[in-house]
Structure 1
Amino acid sequence: MNIDFGAISGSIPYIIGGLEVTLKLVSMSALLGFIWAIILALFKISPIRPLNWLADFYTSIFRGTPLVLQLLLIYYGLPQFIGPIDPYWAGVAAFTLNSGAYISEVIRAGIMAVDKGQREASMALGVPYNQMMKDIILPQAFKNILPALMNEFITLTKESAIVTVIALQDVMRRAYQVGGDTYRFFEPILVAGLIYYILVMILTLAGKFVERRLRQSD
């Protein structure tokens, strides 16, 4: 069988339509995951030992198990206790919890990389801990870890395709449906791959632009 994109040309807009779902899923998960990651990172550097243990244990669980397992457990497992879950919010929950674990390690490393003299000077001046972290330590840490954060965001964008297993109508799910309807899977899946590639390239260029601006502001 030869490659023939004409056979699925009428379905390409349908596949592209899944981009809205993909972008909503990724953006919401990235935002919530980033906030959760900051909290976890602060737990990991906290002088309160139980918070260290709790954050480390949490991270080990979500870094040590497959993302698809976490997604299936939330979508198919949790309803046994709390009732049906919308596929979109199941995806957001899984990606938020998973990305938070990974990004928290990046943020923790960024915080620890900030010169200790910054903290000592802040403490000597009587700057409260919360204000020190918000106004002095975290801004410097984020500037240093921006490339790593962009990599995590790009990874999240690509991994979002696994929500097809819970029938969320994203780009990949729609490509699979078109393949089933036309009995031609190569072309629609290739179209989906091109869409993801373009998204990743846009994110990569955006990350480089922000990185250049931050360097210029130093």
Structure 2
Amino acid sequence: MPEIFSDMIYLVTSYWPYFLRGTRNTIVLALLAVVGGCLAGLIVALLRMSKNRVVSSVARAYIAVFRGTPMIVQLWIFYLQLTKLMSFPEGMFLGMDLTRLLPCLIALSLNSGAYVAEILRAGIQAVDIGQMEAARSIGMPASMAMKEIVLPQAIKNILPAICNEFITLVKETAIIQYLGVADLMYSMNAVKTITYKILPNYYIVGVIYFVLNFLAGRGVSIIERRMNRNDQR
């Protein structure tokens, strides 16, 4: 074990730019994916609650497919299929190839959207239906009542769950290394190839992922406590 620790110290001090860049990219990817997931989830949640059976069935099918298949399968399908159907802009973003990054972001966002849709639907249904009825009784359109009255309360209720979805995405982005996107795992593999030190590298990224998710989890706890205090006032 002491040898492992010395190897970890050596790798961190000698190759810290790799780990720093990979950590930054992982955080950015997770943030972009959760934003995309929230947008997709909002649309799907509203469709899921539609009184039109066809529309509601399509939304249910979307949720079932994305929640019922492995992320790695979705990533490869989106990457291979989208690159055949359309061309993505060439270039680099934070050292990541856009032709690989964008299909990955789309897949991550749509996958996250399936989970966010159910979270948001539960949040909307938790709002007292009487508020929507009161808004409708004074002539407010349903869309405006949803936007101005229901959604703000629903979002407040589900904010901790959305933060937990970000934590999940931080871990799930690890698989996009297989598509050549320079996240933390991709950077670790680069260091591993240079140094031939396998186990110490995995220990390092394990610690980094733990720290990221621990800090994010603490942030969720702080948000929940503040929300509870505000509700008690």
User: What residue identity is the alignment partner of 2:45?
Assistant: A
Give the Cα separation in 2 of the matches to 1:181 and 1:212: 46
Matched pairs, number: 218
List aligned pairs for 1:59-138, cutoff 5 A.
59-83=63-87, 86-138=99-151
Q: Is the 8 A contact 2:47 2:59 kept in 1?
A: yes
Report which stretch shifted further, 94-103 or 128-137: 128-137
Moved more, 146-155 or 166-175: 146-155
Q: What is the CA–CA distance in structure 2 between the aligned matches of 1:209 and 1:132, rounded to whole Å?
A: 30
| Residue in structure 2 matching 1:186, options 192, 199, 211 | 199
Q: 2:37 aligns with which of 33, 40, 48?
A: 33
Gaps of at least 5 residues in structure 2 are 89-97
TM-score, normalising length: structure 1: 0.92
**CA shift for structure 1 position 150:** 1.9
- C-alpha contact 2:22 2:184 (8 A) present in aligned 1: yes
Alpha-carbon distance in 2 for matches of 1:80, 1:32:
22
Please tell me the residue identity of whatever aligns with 2:40. W
1:143 aligned residue: 156
- TM-superposed CA distance for 1:61, in Å, is 1.0
> How far apart are the structure 2 equivalents of 1:77 and 1:41?
26
Aligned 8 A contact 2:82 2:103 in 1 = no
Q: 1:200 aligns with which of 213, 228, 233?
A: 213
Match of 1:17 in 2: 21
- Give the counterpart of 2:8 among 5, 8, 11: 5
The corresponding residue for 2:91 is none
Q: Percent identity?
A: 38
Residues 38-47 or 83-92, more deviating: 83-92
**How far did residue 151 of structure 1 move?**
1.7
Structure 1 residues without counterparts, runs of 5 or longer? none
- Report the CA distance between 1:169 and its aligned residue: 1.0
Could you tell me whether the CA contact under 8 Å between 2:31 and 2:166 is conserved in 1?
no
**Which moves more between the two structures, 32-41 or 45-54?**
45-54
TM-superposed deviation, 1:86: 1.2
| 1:25 and 1:92 in contact (8 A); partners too | yes
Amino acid at match of 2:213: V
Which residue of structure 2 lines up, in the alignment, with residue 173 of structure 1?
A: 186
Shift of 1:39: 0.7
Of the three residues 167, 180, 198, the one matched with 1:154 is 167
- Per the normalisation by structure 2, the TM-score is 0.87
**Does the CA-based 8 Å contact 1:46-1:52 persist in structure 2?**
yes
Q: What are the superposed Cα offsets for residues 29-74 of structure 1, whole Å, 9 maximum, x if unpaired?
A: 1111101101110111122222101111111111111111111111
CA distance in 1 between partners of 2:184 and 2:79 (Å) = 19
Q: Give the superposed CA RMSD.
A: 1.8
Identify the residue that residue 210 of structure 1 maps to in structure 2: 223
What are the Cα deviations for residues 122-152 of structure 1, in whole angstroms up to 9, with x where unaligned?
Answer: 2112221112111211122222222322221
Verify the 8 A CA contact 2:124 2:154 in the aligned structure 1: yes
